[in-house]
Chains A and B, each alone.
Chain A
């Protein structure tokens, strides 16, 4: 195992904010890139605070303290490993500094609506003047062109705009947004994919390029099957809870205790027969209502009631263990605090303890891949606001400390809003 991280040779200057964009550029930092996050003191990343608690996360002990913007779980979770500087881009000298950073970077990234970059005077031709091989990632809600390009969107808007929301809900019930916004992190994964493709091309051809990612479009990719099904048959999909066209049973069933559930999926008649045996009702396997998939789908409510009867008085983990011992897919539904105790994730070191100067030490979620020869992800805390302003401006750009002091006094850079 080498101590080297794979992207140590890459530098990115990023204006990414909130979730999707910040997560994309966090993945760069995880893999070793130097990621310099630029915020303005007058307009800090909204994930440092300002949203309702459900979306903006929470402070340790419920206490924001003197610098709540440094203690927010939301911001701190998706900006690990980055450097943080502040620059008010409304000042021409700040814009010059940003372009100096661009000239020393491989990637420039942002996730604003399409009107923002032109308003800042930072369109691709300008960036390319500063750095002819720069890779520009733009990943607004609706992409860089088209009638909605200038509209702002967050996960709460993009999920419904991508069709996902129309498919999520209980039988006969209204459409629902998800409990977390799935459009954001998937857009982040796809944006990281795009940046890796662009880096590969640049290493071969010596050319940068502009990437236009629409979070609405990456989200539609998640429901490709429903889009195609509608297009082929004209049949509008129905909301049907956890119902699945090719598996039954297929649901989260109630267990002993309050709000405890177990997920069970039978992929074949054989798995259904084994499930019947585990439930102590082997005769159900030959019941004509349930003998084959078509029957189980047609009688799914009766089927779910039978399985629920068995699960209701039992412990969710014991049920999952009993079914897994018969090779039937099953898992306890874990809440966020139980997740930290998931033995599989623990054994593989998925969570990394990171010490943050303003919050202390907590476990942080890692990434979905492990590399056999490279180091694990870079585990450094998210930057506090403006933490690296002075260092980046003097060390990276060779500015005189007295000039940085001047910017600091004028509020163009600094560490307190």
Chain B
């Protein structure tokens, strides 16, 4: 059984944020039709490609973002294309779009137009800065949005330039925010019968994830400095290790067979340990160098220490825990691809069909 079989979605979006929003609808059972310009969604060129051979129908990211969708091509520059689009939108509960603010109005498919021929429709618009405000027409990428959100500044070494997170993270944050906004609007429609326009700003989606640090800065009047707790080297990689409680501090030294350090008065309290973190690191490193990441993780995590292995891509694909949970699915060329973002006992996530090839369902959709 799927959760959203009664929801019809028109996905007019390209790139990552909009398609990720529509993907969540599709993966949980909504009927999603994706329209692309005749030249295709740019993510068809993003790759990665099996054996590094670029092909518009084999892009890993395109497949990840657009599986479970029906795909048609439309030239919205033409009158015929716009007519077809209006017809498709008339049947939709949700329309997802990522055009520049004002564009949908300019082609007669703004929120008021849609509402007129599809009462109760929920229009989800995702743009870098939102539909309003002085920056609404500015250009942006994930890098520049991270810079403007406050997230870049804190990332990296205090002595070097700030770093963006790997992957198009702000786009995923915005896609999830857009999905939530759309689902909340549908829940509201259930109560009132009215649809609405969901205005998603990628900048605001990113900044929303900075809430704790932001309020901390407001409390202190000081910016949050750049940096993170260093990872500790071991035999075959790096681990993160956080000794929070008195008990776990003791367990750790018992594990390393150094019971006297567990009782050492220099490190008696959490405050002492924080102050003497460099001394502790010096004591730890020789012990860590004798163990692999996995030996440390499997030895210390059951003792309730907060420890993480710095997993490589290879490590993730070989990880017994992820394997037992069946997390990875198969994408283009049989490549491993992240699967269900969460497991639902009644309405399961499912991969029902691969992403559409360009124009794959043109005949089926426009013929019906």
Contact = CB atoms under 8 A, between A and B. Distances in A.
B43 to A, nearest CB: 10
A367 B208 contact: yes
A76 interface: yes
A286 to B, nearest CB: 23
Contact of B60 (A27, A199, A228, A370): A228
Contact of B150 (A73, A246, A334): A334
B156 A328 contact: no
A265 B209 contact: no
Q: Which of A160, A194, A226, A250 counts the most B-chain CB atoms under 10 A from its CB? A: A160
Contacts of B310: 160, 165-166, 175
B307 A201 contact: no
A166 to B, nearest CB: 5
A152 B226 CA distance: 26
B217 A337 contact: yes
B64 A73 contact: no
B341 A217 contact: yes
A227 B224 contact: no
Given A153-B308, A231-B317, A333 B163 contact: no
A interface secondary structure, majority: mixed
A228 B183 contact: no
A31 interface: yes
B135 interface: yes
B78 to A, nearest CB: 25
B219 A228 contact: no
Contacts of A211: 342-345
B268 interface: no
B331 to A, nearest CB: 6
Interface in A369-399: 369-374
Contacts of B184: 6-7, 31, 196, 369, 371, 374
A158 interface: yes
Interface stretch (A85-93, A177-185, A295-303, A408-416): A177-185
B337 interface: yes
Interface in A292-322: none
Given A154-B306, A175-B231, A179-B226, A263 B144 contact: yes
B355 interface: no
A254 interface: yes
Interface string A213-229: 11011101111111111
A74 B163 contact: no
Interface string B331-347: 11101111011111111
A337 B222 contact: yes
Given A78-B211, A197-B347, A218-B341, A230 B147 contact: no
B141 interface: yes
Interface stretch (B165-173, B251-259, B282-290): B165-173
Contacts of A262: 147
Given A157-B308, A197-B28, A338 B321 contact: no
B219 A362 contact: yes
A229 B48 contact: yes
B311 A194 contact: no
Interface in A217-270: 217-218, 220-233, 236-237, 241-242, 244, 246-247, 250-254, 259, 261-265, 267
7 contacts: A57-B215, A178-B154, A189-B177, A197-B4, A218-B341, A226-B167, A374-B188
- The 8 nearest A-B residue pairs measured at CB: A368-B205, A369-B181, A179-B154, A368-B177, A157-B308, A336-B217, A185-B209, A263-B147
Given A77-B216, A164-B165, A372-B197, 19 more contacts: A50-B244, A58-B220, A124-B345, A156-B229, A156-B308, A160-B310, A165-B310, A174-B231, A180-B154, A201-B347, A227-B328, A241-B163, A242-B164, A331-B147, A334-B153, A336-B213, A348-B130, A369-B200, A374-B196
